[in-house]
């Protein structure tokens, strides 16, 4: 079977992707610097005969060149993630995303290895469309506002990937993920669903940023990794960009209400102004819903898990981790 490299393989999505690939018979090599990933995420994979983990950074050109040898496919997930982390570490986030992707693409081009690049719905920026399609224009905010640096860095990653595709004929597929959630996702970097669930289970107030009326769509990680692998196993995905996400939209206040209902919590809801949660002048997008017709036409893919089932799984996972953690 093919040998696969997963950068960011000890992260939330990366660990699920490694698990799924092993289940399909791939030999999996995971690379992660453990800055936001965790060995706990891949503990159950370490004894698998077809899984190899290496602690290292995509920022190292030498390590990327060495790691790329003998690999057939690369899933590039390593990146700075989470709004909280990005706004607190602007320089590091830009450098990690841009220079890391540059190193991965250069090594892949030298070795002639196809690359799947994970991008983000953030690249759509401040657009006010009802539904975001892959061929739509991108509308970034002012450069003085660091909140947009993440979106711009990921957009530059996309441009760089397609530049390699056009100039060096490197097989490249880009995906834009819309709020992927599920088991093993950390709440440390501002991820809203595990944050709400942890607050509800511990009886703390659920902190809703802004007025709570901004809406998002949440897709379970198992559906996402199925889409990622499906794209790399389909020749028609080469040179294309695809949205991956759910189309079930919910406001943050509605999400909090559903978390409270499904956890049986009596916690209160508290609105926190953006200026207190992040930085002065923080921008947010009121609505972000993906058009997934393109990937559906190619693969027949669409999410299989609804929001209530996702919340229930996250609840059970967090509750189990709390029980297992010694006081």
In-domain check, residue 308: no
Q: For residue 319, is it within any domain?
A: no
Say if 267 falls within a structural domain.
no
The torsion angle over the Cα atoms of residues 313, 318, 320 and 325, rounded to 10 degrees, is 160
Structural domains in the chain (count): 1
Of 159, 182, 162, 180, nearest to 170 (Cα)? 162
Per-residue buried b or exposed e for 183-209, using 16+ beta carbons within 10 Å of the residue's own CB = bbbbbebbbbbbbbbbbbbeeeebbbb
Range name among 45-49, 85-89, 123-127, 316-320 with the lowest pLDDT average: 85-89
Residue 268 gets which letter from DSSP?
P
Helix (H, G, I), strand (E, B) or coil at 10: coil
DSSP three-state, residue 132: strand
For the chain, the maximum distance between any two Cα atoms, rounded to a whole number of angstroms, is 58
**pLDDT greater than 60 at residue 219:** yes
Residue 81 pLDDT grade (very low, low, confident, very high; cuts 50, 70, 90): confident
Question: What stretches of the chain adopt beta strand conformation (E)?
Answer: 3-7, 27-32, 51-55, 73-76, 115-120, 172-177, 180-181, 206-209, 215-217, 219-220, 240-244, 249-251, 269-272
Of 66, 73, 67, the closest CA to residue 31 belongs to 67
Asked, for residue 20, whether it belongs to a domain, the answer is yes
| C-beta of residue 174 within 8 angstroms of C-beta of residue 228 | no
Residue 206, pLDDT > 60, answer yes
Q: What is the pLDDT of residue 327?
A: 39
Judge whether residue 3 has pLDDT over 60: yes
Q: Is residue 95 in some structural domain?
A: yes
Residue among 123, 107, 32, 113 at smallest CA distance from 71: 113
- Per the confidence metrics, is the pTM higher than 0.75? yes
Q: 17: domain CATH number?
A: 3.40.50.720
In a domain, residue 99? The reply is: yes
Residue-wise pLDDT for 281-309, tens only, equals 667 788 999 999 999 999 999 999 999 99
- The pLDDT of residue 324 is above 60: no
Tell me if 322 is assigned to some domain: no
Q: Let me know if residue 111 belongs to a domain.
A: yes
Cα separation of 303 and 160, whole Å?
29
Catalytic machinery residues: 150
Range of the domain at 17: 3-181+219-246+287-303
CA dist., res. 30 & res. 270, Å (int):
40
């Amino acid at each position: 079977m093919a040998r696969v490299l997963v950068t960011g393989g000890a992260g939330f999505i990366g660990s699920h992707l490694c698990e799924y690939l092993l289940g399909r018979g791939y030999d999996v090599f995971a690379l992660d610097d453990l800055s936001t990933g965790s060995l706990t995420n891949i503990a159950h994979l370490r004894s698998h005969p077809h899984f190899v983990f290496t602690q290292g950074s995509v920022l190292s050109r030498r390590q990327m060149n060495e790691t790329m040898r003998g690999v057939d496919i690369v899933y590039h997930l390593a990146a700075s993630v989470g709004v909280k982390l990005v706004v607190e570490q602007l320089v590091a986030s830009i450098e990690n995303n841009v220079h890391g992707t540059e190193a991965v693409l250069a090594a892949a081009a030298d070795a002639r290895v196809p690359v799947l690049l994970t991008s983000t719905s953030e690249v759509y920026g401040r657009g006010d469309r009802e539904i975001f399609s892959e061929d739509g224009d991108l509308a970034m905010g002012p450069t003085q506002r660091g909140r947009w640096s993440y979106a711009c860095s990921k957009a530059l990653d996309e441009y760089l990937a397609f530049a390699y595709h056009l100039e060096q004929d490197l097989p490249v597929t880009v995906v834009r993920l819309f709020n992927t959630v599920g088991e093993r996702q950390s709440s440390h970097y501002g991820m809203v669903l595990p944050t709400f669930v942890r607050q509800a289970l511990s009886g703390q107030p659920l902190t809703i940023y802004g007025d709570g009326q901004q809406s998002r769509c949440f897709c379970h990680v198992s559906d996402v990794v199925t889409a990622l692998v499906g794209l790399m196993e389909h020749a028609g995905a080469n040179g294309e960009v695809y949205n991956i996400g759910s189309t079930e939209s919910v406001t943050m206040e509605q999400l909090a209400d559903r978390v409270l209902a499904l956890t049986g919590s009596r916690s209160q809801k508290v609105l926190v102004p953006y200026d207190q949660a992040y930085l002065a002048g923080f921008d947010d997008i009121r609505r972000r819903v993906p058009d997934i017709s393109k990937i559906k036409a190619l693969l027949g893919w669409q999410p299989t898990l609804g929001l209530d089932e996702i919340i229930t799984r996250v609840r059970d996972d967090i509750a189990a981790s709390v029980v297992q953690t010694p006081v």
